[in-house]
Structure 1
Amino acid sequence: MEALRIAELPACERPRERLFDGGPRGLATAELLAILLGSGQANGLSAIGLAQRLLRSLEGPGCDPLAHLRDISAAELMLQPGIGPARAASLLAALELGRRVFLAPPAPRPVVDSPQAVAAVLRAEMAFARQEQFAVLLLDIKNRLIAHRIVTLGTLDETLAHPREIFREAIRQAAAGIIVAHNHPSGITDPSAEDLRLTRQLLECARTLQIPVLDHVIVAQHSCTSLRRTTALWQS
């Protein structure tokens, strides 16, 4: 039977599509290698076929093929039928990049413990936006920033946010707590009735999910307002 090319596989079986849909961690080693090897066939094998054959050639008694792959040379790679200079270079570059990323010290995480710190994280994205944006800042147990996400965009004068989108990010990143924030393009940071209603809703969800909402900050070009400091919502 003639081997299928990657482009002829169903979308759910194509490594690149699966990587975009579910992230790289869900892919098998052969699928990751196939992405690096690229499309097209060589010696009657697809990229996945080449990747599988490469891994089999590196197997040994009590030895993981990845241990051999880590130290492989260009000459060894090009002994494999179907792997020429271009494919060998791609694999070696990816292996070296992975090594350097692994050895690099982690970037320091800023501590976000005030409305001003929230504004400092978001102002470049939000302060000059012409429409409202709603963001969630994901924090660890020491209030250090794990990541921040713009979860919704609104119209010129209104944003729509749903707790589902906000807490989905917190659960995915295993955040110990979150701060939510949005901008007011008008430059006036007084909370609206809708801002207060949404904050109450988020606080209720936070109690159920046990992921505390530490603040809701409204950001403008030159100012910011903390709803925790200016309302009694956290006391009720």
Structure 2
Amino acid sequence: MIHFLYFILFHFFYSFQVNDAKDIVKKADEKMRGSTMQAEIIIKTIRPTWSREMHCKIWEKGNDLALILIQAPVRDKGISFLKRKKEVWNWLPTLERTIKLPPSMMSQSWMGTDFTNDDLVKESSVVDDYNHKIIGDTLIQERSCFIIQMIPRPEAAVVWSKVIICIDKKDFLELHSRFYDEEGDLINTMNSFDIKMMHDRIIPTRFEMIPADKKGQKTIMIYKNIQYNSPIADNFFSIVQMKMLK
């Protein structure tokens, strides 16, 4: 009888932990997205012998719709990316060509940065495509954080075999993430900084993606401004629209 009660309590606690971990990840994801989000960002790609800066606009609606427009430098101006559910397109104005990106390209570098295509257009979902588990806690930037392990669901087509994320317990801010490949090797580490009030919420406004095996290399993404929950029609997220953005 004691063993049976222990078994029941163990599985109740495990189930609570899993559901609680997923809820924490969902809150952190919704904190950055809102129901809609429009933002201007700067992306700095840093290498040992050179650096490059891009200026972009982003529009997002829920988890299924997103548009990214590159405004600078001049040679990349007008390049855009569209996501509708699990489909992603890239518009190249100099070639006047639209390319549909296959799932195999989601793990590749986005515009030569240390972010992947999936990091930016988010074909995969951190909430729906992973199983979540709280594995500890830690202190980051004097904020108490959950350490959560994310393992892909068997049916999910995702880039990473494991992700470890640290989420602030008070404001649900994702402050640190580690991304692992199929062999279990650490590939990228992302840290978040410059926490401030942006529009109607507190969020990190600077993100640094650092490759594990490339010394002196990283990519910094900075939010210049951001607007949440302003109405955006679904038909804004179209191939026609992505060609017209300026």
Q: TM-score, normalised by structure 2?
A: 0.21
Larger radius of gyration between Structure 1 and Structure 2? 1
Structure scoring higher RCO (CA < 8 A, sep ≥ 6) equals 2
Q: TM-score, normalised by structure 1?
A: 0.21
